[in-house]
Amino acid sequence: MRRALVTLLTTAGLLSPLVAKAQVPRQPNLPVSPPVEVVTLRSVTLFPTGPAQYERAGTKPVEYRISKYPTFKDASWRAFVEGPTTTKVEGSTTWIVGTVPPPANPFLTSQAGCDANTIKAASFLQFRIRTVSGQLITSDVRGDSTCWSIGG
């Protein structure tokens, strides 16, 4: 509408063409960029019984993998189905706290750092998202290890 008004005033001689050009700035043709998508995994905690607990932020993962090895040599990606969660707000970040099943066998053959009558267990977790453009993005790997009592 503004452009039509400028054209009308210029044609009628009420506005010089130089002023008309100055009055109507060209709008740049900027590409529309998709929103930035990230997934952040802050921590994972392994418990003697039950699932492993995680804290994550960002885009909801589509897949995860969990292993007793940080290289995930015995794990493959699985569909991520989020169960019950809680949230923690820290500054401008909302952390989602949830759980995933622990590795099938979290026990390590090395007992380094553990006392007698204990067994060492470890759990490493990683999330993966798929962006709107189809790109796969993975979180950092986070892990936890602990010594569990095996006697009484």
pLDDT digits (tens, 9 = 90+) for 50-86: 899 999 999 999 999 999 999 999 999 999 999 999 9
- Both tokens of 111, joined, read 């007992």
Distance of CA 124 to the CA centre of its chain: 16
Please tell me the pTM assigned to this model.
0.73
In the chain the first and final C-alpha atoms are separated, in Å, by 83
